[in-house]
Chain A
């Protein structure tokens, strides 16, 4: 039976639509501005702002940013770090989550407590830094991918997922004489594609977007991931000197710095823009699979 709306109800429904539209605009407008600005001719952008005449558009920003060696290296490093981090963290969480979902694992609550304590208490920045330093991991990829590889949240997510896998499946295989390892690799893992996919996506994005660990652990600029390169371009205003020929330096830099920033933002977000539609299916899963209680 359809719901009957009073006059007040209808007013609220209209206001609701207006406010939601506003919210969408608040999100979309700044992003659209950045994308359009990145395609502008730098001089036009400086003098007139955005323009929709095709003659005012150019790819100069993209040419500059794509010929910046630091940017290319940063992009490559970010891909390497994010992919390795995603693989590592998925393997660890899936294995641990599966083990913790099995009733035959003795000491389960001990292990869970061990993990959960770390969600609320930690040694802090300095002791962690000293540890990484003492282990000789400074200026290596390991400093960026290992210390954060165990995510308690991910372990809980995958444990909850495996608890939903019917025990009968495992038992049937057990009766057939399959070893524990066979059961895990050939029965359970093929069923876990959704959870693997969700965890990998979030791990990839998290690593792609982070700069902090790289900033404190990686001194060598050749190892810097994209976000650190972006930080120097966007926030510290250091456009790589190699990007602009020396004689023209100052004036040219002033002309180009804006457009380079816009283009850098777009280029750095490309992988996420491409992945975003894949996320859509898993938005709610990611949050709800391990729902809080």
Chain B
């Protein structure tokens, strides 16, 4: 915690040295500590932002970023008018939108349920199990999907026994989204509940006792005590999730893609990877990526605005 007198004392000591250079010299050690993070951020985060201007150029690696010709919005128009645009854009939007609808409430439910468990040891053990899938790599998760859902895998043994025919889960486009989203909930929902569990643990038990004395039943106590406690966190988590709705990860979708499920599994990030790094069309692919980031920023600002209105002025910023 800060000591106000101390802080004032410090500013008084330093006020004598008016020049910034002197100040930096005096506290150079702090700046040395900060330097690696700043330098690496400038190079590897801001460098690519500068590099993103190739989206407006007819980029050739030989001519370099500066030497290549400007082409204005040509690459963006090319994407927006390409026959793939609508499919890929809608695939991305649907995958993350439906994903959000499922993966936002499930962790809250899990936390509310865990909160009802009174015995600390039992609660802890359940948490230990529910958090575990978060530590399994995406390669292994998708690998398990392929094994379990293969025509001869354990799940299809059941279906074959019931209906006489296996279901081609991984090659039918209509199943892709379901498999993607449900397996996401499997890996992430437990872990995502932590933040709510921690907040609920801070609720004063006296509050529940008092409400109980006043005749409130369990559901009423959850509704009027537990839910309001986690509402600010819900708002923040929702804004971040909805704002990142177009920034869905590349890694899992790419692994789950098979030649047959592409009609629903091709999303903007996998498309960027394929045209950029596999076909070498850098400028076009950078434009598609930039287009995606722009939508993201707009989404983040819009969702934050709406939630702020609905949530009595409590937004992310």
| Known contacts A27-B190, A106-B24: A268-B140 contact under CB 8 Å | yes
Q: Which segment of A62-70, A190-198, A209-217 sits at the interface?
A: A209-217
Min distance, Cβ A183 to any Cβ of chain B, angstroms: 9
Asked if B218 is an interface residue, CB under 8 A from chain A, the answer is yes
Task: Give the dominant DSSP class at A's interface.
Answer: helix
Q: B36 near A95 (CB under 8 angstroms)?
A: yes
Partner of B269, one of A28, A125, A279: A125
Q: Could you say which residues of chain B place their CB within 8 Å of the CB of A5?
A: 218
Nearest chain-B residue to A147 (Cβ)?
A: B44
Interface residues in A206-264 by Cβ distance below 8 A to B read 208-212, 216, 227, 230-231, 233-235, 258, 261-262
Residue A9 lies at the interface, judged by CB distance under 8 Å to chain B: yes
CB pair A287 B41 closer than 8 Å: no
Q: Which of B89-97, B172-180, B270-278, B305-313 contacts A (4 or more CB under 8 A)?
A: B270-278
Q: Is the CB of A122 within 8 A of B45?
A: yes
> Could you tell me the distance between the alpha carbons of A93 and B50 in the complex, rounded to whole angstroms?
25
Bound-state CA distance A147–B51 (Å) is 15
Is A124 within 8 A of B286, CB to CB?
yes
Q: Write the B127-139 contact mask toward A (1 if CB under 8 angstroms, else 0).
A: 1111111011111
Q: Is the CB of A167 within 8 A of B23?
A: no
Are the C-beta atoms of A235 and B143 separated by less than 8 Å?
yes
CA distance in complex: A124, B286 (Å): 7
Q: Does A79 touch B at the CB level, under 8 Å?
A: no
Given contacts A99-B31, A104-B14, A234-B143, contact A122 B48 (CB under 8 A): yes
Q: Does B162 contact A (CB under 8 A)?
A: no
**Are B144 and A103 within 8 A (Cβ)?**
no
**Contact call A235/B48, Cβ cutoff below 8 A:** no
Quick one: which of A8, A114, A212, A261 contacts B250, CB cutoff 8 A? A212
Q: How far is the CB of B176 from chain A (nearest CB, A)?
A: 15
Q: Which of the candidate stretches B1-9, B80-88, B223-231, B259-267 sits at the interface with the other chain?
A: B1-9
* Given known A124-B286, A125-B276, A280-B128, contact A13–B116 (CB-CB < 8 A): yes
In the assembled complex, the Cα of A126 lies from the Cα of B40 at a distance in Å of: 18
Is there a chain A Cβ closer than 8 Å to B62's Cβ? no
Residues from chain B with a CB closer than 8 A to the CB of A96 are: 33-34, 36-38
In the complex, chain B residues whose CB is within 8 Å of the CB of A124 = 48, 52, 272, 286, 289-290, 292-293
From B42, which residue of chain A is reached at the shortest CB distance? A114
B239 to chain A, nearest CB (A): 10
The yes or no answer to A34 lying at the interface (CB within 8 A) is yes
Complex Cα–Cα for A254 and B194 (A): 42
Q: Are A105 and B293 in contact (CB under 8 A)?
A: no
Contact of B277 among A115, A216, A279 (CB under 8 A): A216
A131 lies within 8 A of B47 (CB)? yes
What is the interface of chain B mostly: helix, strand, loop, or mixed? helix
The reply to whether the CB of A171 lies closer than 8 angstroms to some CB of chain B is yes
Contact: A211 with B251, CB < 8 Å?
Answer: yes
A20 to B112, CA, bound (A): 11
Contacts A92-B36, A114-B41, A212-B250; A261 near B31 (Cβ below 8 A): no
A105 lies within 8 A of B31 (CB): yes
Q: Are B300 and A125 in touch, CB under 8 angstroms?
A: no
B129 touches A24 (CB 8 A): yes
Say yes or no for A177: interface residue by CB 8 A criterion. no
Interchain nearest-CB distance for B44 vs A (Å):
5
| Per-position binary interface string of chain B over residues 95-117, scored 1 when its CB falls under 8 Å from any chain A CB and 0 otherwise | 00000000000000010011011
**5 A-B pairs with the lowest CB-CB distances in the bound complex, closest first:** A123-B48, A234-B143, A127-B51, A124-B289, A209-B137
Listed by A's residue number, 9 A-B pairs whose Cβ atoms lie within 8 Å are A16-B117, A106-B23, A115-B37, A125-B272, A128-B51, A130-B51, A211-B139, A230-B139, A234-B140
A: residues with CB less than 8 A from B are 1, 3-6, 8-9, 12-13, 16, 19-20, 23-24, 26-28, 30-31, 33-34, 49, 91-93, 95-96, 98-100, 102-106, 111, 114-115, 118, 120-131, 146-147, 149-150, 155, 164, 166-168, 171, 179-181, 184, 205, 208-212, 216, 227, 230-231, 233-235, 258, 261-262, 265, 268-269, 272, 276, 279-280, 283-284, 287-288, 291-293
B residues near A (Cβ < 8 Å) are 1-3, 6-7, 10, 14, 20, 23-24, 27, 29-31, 33-34, 36-38, 40-41, 43-52, 54, 61, 110, 113-114, 116-117, 124, 126-133, 135-140, 142-144, 146-148, 154, 157, 186, 190, 194-195, 197-198, 208-209, 212-213, 217-219, 233, 236, 250-251, 255, 269, 272-273, 276-277, 282, 285-286, 289-290, 292-293, 296-297, 300
